[in-house]
A and B are shown apart, each in its own frame.
Chain A
């Protein structure tokens, strides 16, 4: 095991990103992903271990203009119980409802679920559907810098993303969906929640006069990263949501998904489920 040289539990964001600028920092919040990875040797601790749970302003859910901002340290339980999320983004509440177990939801942070960059990350899927962006903060030239990266562009591979080691993910931001926004999320598994998704499908868009627009489709565990299924989106975009477009969407889902075999499921079963869930979610959206 690598030696940890210092432990930090900063109160301010400045303090945190300054430390990260100095290099080789392992960040934790709830620890629910970090601990199994360090225990198994899959991940090593850096020279500095930093607990970000005490940084002021890093957790909480708030409206900011026409957007909703969720602090990175906000727990999944907080998302699940938040009245604003329930009202404005029920698809996110639905994913939180089906996230791991109660004990994990109470500890796991939303930012951590994103930074873990698992293709099966359950909170990522609805955030892709909501077209969320992440805020990344760093310290450069004596000042706090932030940049915003669309979540869709965040992931580069399994457990890999565009966040630099000196950057801290501070928040997730998405525009409040319009009143005609419809969306739903479905994940598989014989257990209601305590399950690493075999696959998940989330679909959302604006449905008015029977026509589906601004469609965004996300799939989990069918590609090296959480996936925006552009083929499915194209099959639905600007079309009436009906049996024909649903059939086209299911066919596109088959093409978009490129799953692998692993201990949890075969590629065949994942593809099969993606098609089943695409149809199911669209039917749910239609109110069937």
Chain B
């Protein structure tokens, strides 16, 4: 080309750390995105569920005749239609039940031509129940004379976990101070704005297509199959856009096999979609816990031991909730240098709703306890808390008792940054001194920190991801990846990485990641893993494509591949940026030459982490990360209202990839943590949910979101893509105890059972006044 001489050079510019828009945002902003909730298929029927509405009962009889006779009803199913089709980790669940074990147990389901007819049909089903005495706390469930919830789980015992390291008795003898408290983190739920929904359809050969909100499409097939008597290979999972997930779609829940059973019976596509009330009652919760924690230290502030005896309210069935000890124990044993550890957790079946996974899985509950005890111990030792934290902080290269390898550890930097930016130490002293002074409004400041896996967590046999990448004749790149997009922004990260590696415009990258028949394996969106794992997978695939392209360029241009680079849609000389050939032109030449080639590469990335193992001694994540939050609050000591004035946060992010997405994840995670801390609460009365609506289950609203001061510490993770670590759970994990510590700083009262609602705080302050003699 003659213009080669005049073509301007193309500067080297990195996208890493820049602000990149979510590719799906425009369609969402104009109302064009078709969420699963919006989908309608030809011939589609609406499925509706009859819930028990009582916590524990024998089903004496079910009469579905009237419902079946209603015009427009195509099928009515009951427990006998799901007999023998048990599913769940311990096979204790079924799509439709033969006995009532919790309020939202699915007793019958109908498929009808409209929502209205389906609702009427549900109203025509007559069930005779014989109520049974219930179990509503794990303590009660563990009693010898407790009613049995499942015949095959004697003593209502569900999962049990333990880990110990060193001799507690000896460590305790060496301790000058010991704190001993019982913490009771509560039931909250995900509140995805898009309610739960599934659409199922069978083809003539008996293959099921299920449109679902799942965030783990591949193991989902394995988990769904037994609920239907199918082979996992006979299930195709399609993931339309969803209205949030946050961990709530990391397991199979009964409405999904119900949709499939109805579809099978009727031969038509069936959609089950929850109302908000059904969503509150029937979707999973965060795992509540009773944590008896003890932590000791010496006079000079050196931690000596930490023990946790945990009782988990399993609820009626076993989903991810009671598995949280796997993560709980990592923080108990690994957050700060704790030489001696003892951890035990027993889950007990109750007639309460059951928990799934929820952003911050297990660590929200643990950090609520550990971070408050750190604050209490500092006061006992009479050390400035920052100094106490620093004294016990690990540094790069340390290994925890469970063998978590803290390869790049910047806990000290996080502590110093957050404390410094917020002027924590000075304010803490000042507010504590002002506590006794008169005045209705009290200021407080609190610091909390935690550790979390930041490079996946190998709790399955594989924590890997498959990626297929192709570049077409027009230099448009398609990434076919297992990584699911649930709103978190992996689409922007993948786009950014491809554009970075292949020098193409962001808009020229297309992602295909919503069909299990097309995209390769991935474990799912969980454990703060997707940017780390899918980021690595994408980068590796892109680099393979780049190598192929540059090798072809070398042949065509006669310049060595290692002196060439892809930039601005062209092949350029790396050193000077001189464009040599347009990328699309090169690709066409590759395609149409005598020895034609297409750019299509595959990659399978498996992180270098070790399987969790039964003993829980393994380096189970490819990276670990820390975050430190400082909350500044004002407490109205009369009404008990806490106003959060500011949050300062420092987090080890490894390396910023998409700055805008990173901020968005941190801000959103903080909001969920703030709601957990201050207002969200499932009010259960003998297993029945009393507040299944946003009016009485209070999510944080815009006026309550405080100003944020976010600091990203870049530890440059050797294993992470460009040095990045996973980030999205820590913001949810750390904020609640930071506020609890601030509440103590402001008022001298502590709340052990979240949320720190106005009434609870007012009562605590009132009790404190009474104790002080008015």
Contact = CB atoms under 8 A, between A and B. Distances in A.
A275 to B, nearest CB: 9
A147 to B, nearest CB: 34
A144 interface: no
B762 to A, nearest CB: 6
B704 interface: yes
A264 B759 CA distance: 10
A278 to B, nearest CB: 12
A8 interface: no
A266 B759 contact: yes
Contacts of B690: 263
A140 B759 CA distance: 51
B703 A191 contact: yes
A32 to B, nearest CB: 12
A264 B695 CA distance: 9
Given A191-B701, A194-B701, A263-B690, A269 B759 contact: yes
Interface centre among B683, B757, B759, B763, by most A CB within 10 Å? B759
Interface size class of A (residues with CB under 8 A): 10 to 19
A276 B683 contact: no
B678 interface: yes
A272 B641 CA distance: 13
A269 B641 contact: no
Contact of A192 (B638, B683, B703): B703
B695 A196 contact: yes
Interface size class of B (residues with CB under 8 A): 20 to 34
Interface in A246-266: 263-266
Interface in B673-705: 678-679, 683, 690-691, 695-696, 698, 701, 703-704
Contacts of A191: 698, 701, 703-704
B758 interface: yes
Given A190-B678, A190-B758, A272-B766, A264 B703 contact: no
Contacts of B766: 272
7 contacts: A191-B698, A191-B701, A196-B696, A263-B691, A266-B759, A269-B759, A276-B638
B31 to A, nearest CB: 17
A276 B639 CA distance: 7
Given A190-B758, A263-B691, 11 more contacts: A190-B641, A190-B704, A191-B701, A192-B703, A196-B695, A263-B683, A264-B696, A269-B758, A269-B759, A269-B763, A273-B639
B265 to A, nearest CB: 27
A263 B698 CA distance: 12
Interface in A170-203: 188, 190-192, 194, 196
A250 to B, nearest CB: 12
Contacts of A272: 762, 766
Contact of A269 (B678, B703, B762): B762
Nearest to A269: B759
A89 B695 CA distance: 29
Interface in B648-680: 678-679
A264 B757 CA distance: 11
Interface in B473-507: none
Contacts of A268: 763
Nearest to A275: B638
A269 B703 CA distance: 24
Interface in B209-260: none
Contacts of B641: 190
Interface in B620-667: 638-639, 641
A281 B695 CA distance: 26
B195 to A, nearest CB: 15
Contacts of B704: 190-191
Contacts of B701: 191, 194
Nearest to B638: A276
Nearest to B760: A269
A126 to B, nearest CB: 20
Query: Would you list the 6 A-B pairs with minimal beta carbon distance, nearest first?
Result: A269-B759, A276-B638, A263-B690, A263-B691, A192-B703, A263-B696
A73 B763 CA distance: 41
Nearest to B640: A269
Contacts of B678: 190
Interface string A192-234: 1010100000000000000000000000000000000000000
Contacts of B763: 268-269
Contacts of A276: 638-639
A192 B683 CA distance: 23
Contacts of A269: 758-759, 762-763
A191 B703 CA distance: 7
A215 to B, nearest CB: 23
Interface string B176-219: 00000000000000000000000000000000000000000000
Nearest to A279: B638
Contacts of B696: 196, 263-264
Contacts of B757: 190
A269 B679 CA distance: 16
Nearest to A264: B696
B755 to A, nearest CB: 10
B698 A190 contact: yes
B203 to A, nearest CB: 37
Nearest to A188: B639
Interface centre among B690, B757, B758, by most A CB within 10 Å? B758
B442 to A, nearest CB: 15
A3 to B, nearest CB: 13
A116 B698 CA distance: 23
A263 B693 CA distance: 12
B679 A265 contact: no
Interface centre among A196, A264, A266, by most B CB within 10 Å? A264
A63 B432 CA distance: 54
A188 B683 CA distance: 20
B631 to A, nearest CB: 16
A222 to B, nearest CB: 15
A191 B691 CA distance: 17
